[in-house]
Amino acid sequence: MASSGLRLLIVDDSPMILKMVHDHFAPNGYTVHKAENGAKALECLERDRPDVIVADILMPVMDGWELYEEVKRRPEAADIPFMFLSNQTGLSPRLKGFEMGADDYLTKPFAVEELQARIERILRHREGAPAAEPEMAVGDDEEFLAGSTDHMSIPDLVQILALNRKDTLIEVRHGDQQGEIVFQDGSIADARLGATAGRKALFRMLAWSGARFRVLSLQQVVADPTIKGKTSDLLMDAMVALDEWNRWKDQLPQPDVRLEIQKDARAKLADRKVSPAEFDVLARAKKSETVAEILHGSEMTDAEVAAAVVELIGMGVVRPGSAAVTES
């Protein structure tokens, strides 16, 4: 898309960030307005309506959250695309940004080239224009893109592919684990990670850091999708699941420990509804599975299984037993 004449409002309390963004975008045809906090940004907004607003979250006087809410309250500005910047790497701020309705969220430090690509993608999407096709490398495997999560996270890659609406296959490798995420008609249709499939496999791969990925042309249609729903909803669910997993994982027994069902378990559960995850954990504990086997064997997400295990232990329904004996 032509960037000539586009107006960018960058809001950040870091003079270095303001200068870096200005020095990259101005020579590329943008008119760049700078503001060091949300209050100053509103003053800029009254003088000249920008085509896109990019704002840091943590700022003095008026932070990014407050600025976003104020912009959306103004009828003359409510439709301006809005993107958050933040050095907060956790999932909660990103989730809050998307729940508020922000168009994108970029974690610091960032490359100005990526910022420009994201801004132009947002504007294309708003205008309803077809997204630019990524260049396809020459080769028999039709590789569109390859890289590392050190430069682009799997959730960010998934968002880009969802906008491009291509039939693609993402191969993801993390240590000795390799998985696949399949896009069909612009939506995630399938995810595989070893014997694990569906949402559980997808959520595990979305949480990976230090992984390598390749984006390939999809060679075969998925006849029986294991995943359905909007990509944005799946990403939000994954963020919540990862937060929940981080909450419960340290309370789990060691992976090689078997869970033992207590004799009075039925009585302790008599007055409450057993959740599907708890039922699954109890069924697997009855088979003397270890914590690791329960996590890997259950169709429930890791967060759901971990929460169920911790809850059942807390109620005294199950207790950590002996560790599994490894054959030498």
pLDDT-derived band of residue 131, with 50, 70 and 90 as boundaries?
very low
Asked if pLDDT for residue 91 goes beyond 80, the answer is no
pLDDT of residue 162: 78
Residue 195 in tokens? 């014997």
The average confidence (pLDDT) of the chain is: 85
Q: Are 305 and 295 in contact (CB under 8 A)?
A: yes
pLDDT of residue 139: 37
Asked if pLDDT for residue 50 goes beyond 50, the answer is yes
More confident: 221 or 264: 264
Asked if pLDDT for residue 327 goes beyond 60, the answer is no
Asked if pLDDT for residue 252 goes beyond 90, the answer is yes
What whole-number distance in Å separates Cα of residue 169 and Cα of residue 252? 34
Asked if pLDDT for residue 137 goes beyond 50, the answer is no
The pTM of this model reads 0.56
pLDDT of residue 239: 87
Domain locations in the chain? 7-127, 143-246, 252-323
Find the range with the poorest average confidence among 36-40, 89-93, 125-129, 236-240: 89-93
Which pLDDT tens digit goes with each residue over 97-116? 666 778 888 888 888 888 99
DSSP secondary structure, 146-194, as one string: EEETTTS-HHHHHHHHHHHT--EEEEEEETTEEEEEEEETTEEEEEEET
pLDDT-derived band of residue 235, with 50, 70 and 90 as boundaries?
confident
pLDDT of residue 325: 55
Q: Report the percent of the chain where pLDDT is more than 90.
A: 53
Asked if pLDDT for residue 132 goes beyond 50, the answer is no
Q: At the fourth CATH level, which superfamily is domain 7-127?
A: Response regulator (3.40.50.2300)
Give the 3-state DSSP-derived string for 18-67, with helices as H, strands as E and coil as C: HHHHHHHHHHHCCEEEEECCHHHHHHHHHHCCCCEEEEECCCCCCCHHHH
Asked if pLDDT for residue 276 goes beyond 60, the answer is yes
For the beta carbon of residue 207, count every other beta carbon within 10 angstroms.
20
Which pLDDT tens digit goes with each residue over 4-15? 689 999 999 999
pLDDT of residue 308: 94
pLDDT-derived band of residue 88, with 50, 70 and 90 as boundaries?
low
Asked if pLDDT for residue 140 goes beyond 50, the answer is no
pLDDT of residue 90: 53
Residue 139 in tokens? 């080769």
Q: In what order do the strands lie in the sheet with 31-35?
A: 31-35, 7-11, 52-56, 82-86, 104-107
The mean pLDDT of 47-69, rounded to a whole number, is 93
Asked if pLDDT for residue 233 goes beyond 90, the answer is no
Asked if pLDDT for residue 95 goes beyond 70, the answer is no
